[in-house]
Amino acid sequence: MDHLDTAQEVLDSMLGYLGFATSVEVDRESGVVNIATTSDAKLLIGHRGDRLEEIEYLANRVVQDRLPDAPRFKIDIDSYRAARDYRMIEEAEAAAARVIAGGAALRLSPMNSYQRRLVHNHFKDHPDVTTWSPKDSARLKRITIKPKGDGSDKSPIQA
Protein backbone atom coordinates (compact mmCIF):
# COMPACT_ATOMS: atom_id res chain seq x y z
CA MET A 1 0.00 0.00 0.00
CA ASP A 2 1.49 3.34 -1.06
CA HIS A 3 0.97 6.80 0.43
CA LEU A 4 -1.95 7.67 -1.89
CA ASP A 5 -3.83 4.49 -0.97
CA THR A 6 -3.20 5.28 2.68
CA ALA A 7 -4.42 8.85 2.13
CA GLN A 8 -7.58 7.56 0.49
CA GLU A 9 -8.21 5.22 3.44
CA VAL A 10 -7.50 7.95 6.03
CA LEU A 11 -9.77 10.51 4.36
CA ASP A 12 -12.56 7.99 3.80
CA SER A 13 -12.48 7.03 7.48
CA MET A 14 -12.06 10.58 8.81
CA LEU A 15 -14.89 12.05 6.74
CA GLY A 16 -17.11 9.05 7.41
CA TYR A 17 -16.69 9.44 11.17
CA LEU A 18 -17.59 13.12 10.82
CA GLY A 19 -20.81 12.17 8.99
CA PHE A 20 -19.96 13.36 5.47
CA ALA A 21 -21.25 11.36 2.51
CA THR A 22 -18.23 11.46 0.22
CA SER A 23 -16.39 9.46 -2.38
CA VAL A 24 -12.59 9.60 -2.19
CA GLU A 25 -10.63 8.86 -5.36
CA VAL A 26 -6.94 9.06 -6.21
CA ASP A 27 -5.58 10.62 -9.40
CA ARG A 28 -2.21 8.89 -9.60
CA GLU A 29 -1.05 10.93 -12.58
CA SER A 30 -1.24 14.24 -10.71
CA GLY A 31 -0.86 12.80 -7.19
CA VAL A 32 -4.07 14.50 -6.04
CA VAL A 33 -6.67 12.92 -3.79
CA ASN A 34 -10.12 14.01 -4.96
CA ILE A 35 -13.10 14.16 -2.63
CA ALA A 36 -16.49 14.18 -4.33
CA THR A 37 -19.41 15.20 -2.12
CA THR A 38 -23.14 15.23 -2.55
CA SER A 39 -24.02 18.50 -0.84
CA ASP A 40 -21.42 19.20 1.84
CA ALA A 41 -18.70 20.72 -0.33
CA LYS A 42 -18.99 24.22 1.18
CA LEU A 43 -18.64 22.81 4.70
CA LEU A 44 -15.51 20.89 3.75
CA ILE A 45 -13.94 23.68 1.68
CA GLY A 46 -14.60 26.48 4.18
CA HIS A 47 -14.07 30.19 3.67
CA ARG A 48 -11.65 30.68 0.76
CA GLY A 49 -10.46 27.08 1.06
CA ASP A 50 -9.25 27.39 4.66
CA ARG A 51 -10.90 24.17 5.82
CA LEU A 52 -9.66 22.33 2.72
CA GLU A 53 -6.10 23.35 3.63
CA GLU A 54 -6.66 22.18 7.21
CA ILE A 55 -8.01 18.81 6.05
CA GLU A 56 -5.04 18.46 3.71
CA TYR A 57 -2.58 19.28 6.50
CA LEU A 58 -4.20 16.81 8.90
CA ALA A 59 -4.39 14.01 6.32
CA ASN A 60 -0.74 14.53 5.37
CA ARG A 61 0.28 14.36 9.04
CA VAL A 62 -1.64 11.12 9.60
CA VAL A 63 -0.22 9.53 6.45
CA GLN A 64 3.34 10.62 7.34
CA ASP A 65 2.84 9.19 10.82
CA ARG A 66 1.98 5.82 9.27
CA LEU A 67 4.54 6.07 6.43
CA PRO A 68 7.40 8.36 7.54
CA ASP A 69 8.95 8.60 4.04
CA ALA A 70 5.67 9.43 2.31
CA PRO A 71 5.72 12.55 0.13
CA ARG A 72 3.11 15.25 0.65
CA PHE A 73 -0.02 15.10 -1.45
CA LYS A 74 -2.72 17.55 -2.45
CA ILE A 75 -6.43 17.23 -1.79
CA ASP A 76 -9.16 18.69 -3.98
CA ILE A 77 -12.86 18.84 -3.13
CA ASP A 78 -15.33 18.90 -6.04
CA SER A 79 -12.60 20.46 -8.25
CA TYR A 80 -12.51 23.58 -6.04
CA ARG A 81 -8.71 23.79 -5.94
CA ALA A 82 -8.33 23.19 -9.69
CA ALA A 83 -10.81 25.98 -10.48
CA ARG A 84 -9.20 28.34 -7.93
CA ASP A 85 -5.72 27.67 -9.33
CA TYR A 86 -6.95 28.30 -12.87
CA ARG A 87 -8.57 31.62 -11.84
CA MET A 88 -5.43 32.67 -9.97
CA ILE A 89 -3.19 32.02 -13.00
CA GLU A 90 -5.64 33.92 -15.21
CA GLU A 91 -5.50 36.91 -12.83
CA ALA A 92 -1.69 36.76 -12.76
CA GLU A 93 -1.63 36.64 -16.58
CA ALA A 94 -3.86 39.73 -16.72
CA ALA A 95 -1.54 41.49 -14.27
CA ALA A 96 1.48 40.50 -16.36
CA ALA A 97 -0.21 41.94 -19.46
CA ARG A 98 -0.68 45.24 -17.56
CA VAL A 99 2.98 45.18 -16.50
CA ILE A 100 4.10 44.62 -20.10
CA ALA A 101 1.79 47.36 -21.41
CA GLY A 102 2.62 49.92 -18.72
CA GLY A 103 6.19 49.04 -17.87
CA ALA A 104 5.57 49.39 -14.11
CA ALA A 105 5.81 46.61 -11.54
CA LEU A 106 2.59 45.36 -9.98
CA ARG A 107 1.94 43.55 -6.66
CA LEU A 108 -0.64 40.78 -6.49
CA SER A 109 -2.96 39.96 -3.60
CA PRO A 110 -1.48 38.07 -0.61
CA MET A 111 -0.96 34.34 -1.28
CA ASN A 112 0.12 31.29 0.67
CA SER A 113 3.23 29.33 -0.30
CA TYR A 114 1.38 26.87 -2.57
CA GLN A 115 -0.22 29.71 -4.54
CA ARG A 116 3.05 31.64 -4.80
CA ARG A 117 4.86 28.55 -6.06
CA LEU A 118 2.19 28.13 -8.77
CA VAL A 119 2.57 31.72 -9.96
CA HIS A 120 6.38 31.72 -9.81
CA ASN A 121 6.52 28.45 -11.77
CA HIS A 122 4.03 29.75 -14.32
CA PHE A 123 6.22 32.79 -15.09
CA LYS A 124 9.67 31.21 -14.68
CA ASP A 125 10.32 31.07 -18.45
CA HIS A 126 8.25 34.09 -19.44
CA PRO A 127 10.16 36.26 -21.95
CA ASP A 128 8.89 39.65 -20.76
CA VAL A 129 8.25 39.55 -16.99
CA THR A 130 9.78 38.16 -13.84
CA THR A 131 8.28 37.53 -10.40
CA TRP A 132 9.59 38.23 -6.93
CA SER A 133 8.31 37.72 -3.39
CA PRO A 134 9.89 38.72 -0.05
CA LYS A 135 12.01 36.24 1.91
CA ASP A 136 10.41 36.79 5.31
CA SER A 137 8.53 34.40 7.58
CA ALA A 138 5.02 35.70 6.88
CA ARG A 139 2.47 33.03 5.96
CA LEU A 140 0.85 35.22 3.30
CA LYS A 141 3.09 37.21 0.97
CA ARG A 142 2.54 39.38 -2.08
CA ILE A 143 4.23 38.54 -5.37
CA THR A 144 5.58 41.42 -7.43
CA ILE A 145 5.45 41.04 -11.20
CA LYS A 146 7.89 43.34 -13.00
CA PRO A 147 9.30 43.71 -16.49
CA LYS A 148 12.43 41.68 -17.18
CA GLY A 149 15.57 43.74 -16.90
CA ASP A 150 13.88 46.26 -14.58
CA GLY A 151 16.51 46.70 -11.89
CA SER A 152 14.90 49.79 -10.46
CA ASP A 153 13.40 49.90 -6.98
CA LYS A 154 10.25 51.78 -8.03
CA SER A 155 7.42 50.96 -5.69
CA PRO A 156 5.02 48.56 -7.39
CA ILE A 157 1.40 49.33 -8.16
CA GLN A 158 -1.13 47.42 -6.03
CA ALA A 159 -3.25 44.91 -7.99
| pLDDT above 80 for 46 | yes
Closest to 73 in 3D by CA, of 55, 48, 87: 55
Sequence spans of domains, the chain: 3-78, 83-158
Q: Which CATH architecture has domain 83-158?
A: 2-Layer Sandwich (3.30)
- Cα-Cα-Cα-Cα dihedral of 121, 122, 125, 131, to 10°? -70
CA–CA dist 157, 105 (Å, integer): 6
User: Which of 9-13, 16-20, 113-117 reaches the highest mean pLDDT?
Assistant: 9-13
Task: Find out if CATH 3.90.1300.10 is the number for domain 3-78.
Answer: no
| Average of per-residue pLDDT across 77-86 | 92
Percent above pLDDT 70 for the chain: 93
Q: Is the pTM of this model over 0.85?
A: no
| Average of per-residue pLDDT across 133-150 | 88
